[in-house]
Structure 1
C-alpha cells in the first residue's frame, strides 16, 4: 500500500503543490518588469530536488498556464513548458548523484546553467515553430537574456532553497 501511495498525490501534498504554483505565479508576476529574472525556474528546481520530477512537471505546467493567462497565451506557451520540462528532467538526473544532493553550491551552479539550457531549448523549438531560416543568429541574440535568467536563477535558488526545504520537509515526513 505504501508504494501505491507514493505514485499518487495525497490531499496534503496537493495543498503544498497548489501553494508552490501560487508562489511561482506571484513571483513571475512580481518580477515581470525585469527581463528574465523571476523565481519560477528556481522554484521548479527546488521542488524537483525535494519531491521529484513528476511534481516539478506538474507545477511547471500549471504555473505557466496560469501566468500566461495573465501575461499572454500563445504558441510560445508550449515552447516554455517543453523547455522547462527539459531543465526539470536534467535536475532530476543530477539529483541521482549523491555529491550533487549534498552540495548546495553545485545546485546553485546548475540553476545558473539552467538559464542557458532553457534558452537553448526554447530557441531550438522557436526556430522550428516560427520557421526561422537560421538557428545561431536567433540563439546568440538571446544570450544576454539567458545570462539574466541564469543569474536570477542562482540568486533565487540560493535564497529560496532553505525556505522551501523546510516547507517540503512536512510532505516528505507524511509520505
Structure 2
C-alpha cells in the first residue's frame, strides 16, 4: 500500500513539474498516442514493444518533464486497452526510473550511440525489475525466484529496446526535434 501512495505522490510531482514547464503539448500527445498504439500492436509478443525506446528518446532528445509525462500516461492509457491492474503504478515507476537515468547520463548517452543502445538493453531489466515489485507486493512471492522467472521476458524487452532504438531514432530526431526546435 505504501508503494501506491508513493507512486501517486510522485505522479503529482511529475504533473506539477510539467505544468510549470514550457514544453509544447502537441508533440508529446503524438508520442503518447504512438507509444500506446505501439504497446497494443505488439501485445501478442511478451515484453516486446516500442514504448520504452520512445520514452528513452524523449528523455534523451526532448526533456525530462516530457518523458516523465509519457512514463505516467502510457501505462494508464494503454491499460484501458490491455487491462488495468496493480502493476500500472509499477510500470509508471519503472519507466520513470529509466527516464531519470537517461537524463542523468544524457551527456554520455548523446555522445555514444553504442552506450545508448547498451543502456536500452539494461532498461529492459530495470523496467522489469521495477514491475516485478508489483508481484512481490501483491502476491508476496520469492524475489530470487521471480527474478529468475522474469529473466527471459526482461531480456526480450531489452533486446527489443535496442532494435526499436536503432529503427526509430533517426525518424524521431527528424520529425519531433523539428517540431520542438
TM-score range, shorter chain: 0.7 to 0.9
CA contact (8 A) 1:83 1:122 kept: yes
1:163 aligns with 2:171: yes
CA contact (8 A) 1:79 1:126 kept: no
**Alignment of structure 1 residues 100-139 onto 2, 5 Å:** 100-132=109-141, 134-139=142-147
Give the RMSD, CA atoms, in angstroms. 1.6
Q: Look at both structures and tell me which one has the larger radius of gyration over its CA atoms.
A: 1
TM-score, scaled relative to structure 1: 0.87
Return 5+ residue gaps in structure 2 as ranges. Answer: 1-19
Q: Which has the bigger relative contact order, CA under 8 A and spacing at least 6?
A: 1
CA separation in 1, counterparts of 2:48 and 2:149? 17
Query: What residue number does 1:71 align with?
Result: 82
Query: What residue number does 1:148 align with?
Result: 156
Give CA-to-partner distance per residue, 1:51-105, whole Å, 9 cap, x none. Answer: 122110101211111110111011110111111111111111110xx33211211
Aligned length: 163
Query: What residue number does 2:3 align with?
Result: none
What is the DSSP-based 3-state SS (H/G/I as helix, E as strand, rest coil) of the residue aligned with 1:35? coil
TM-score, scaled relative to structure 2: 0.84
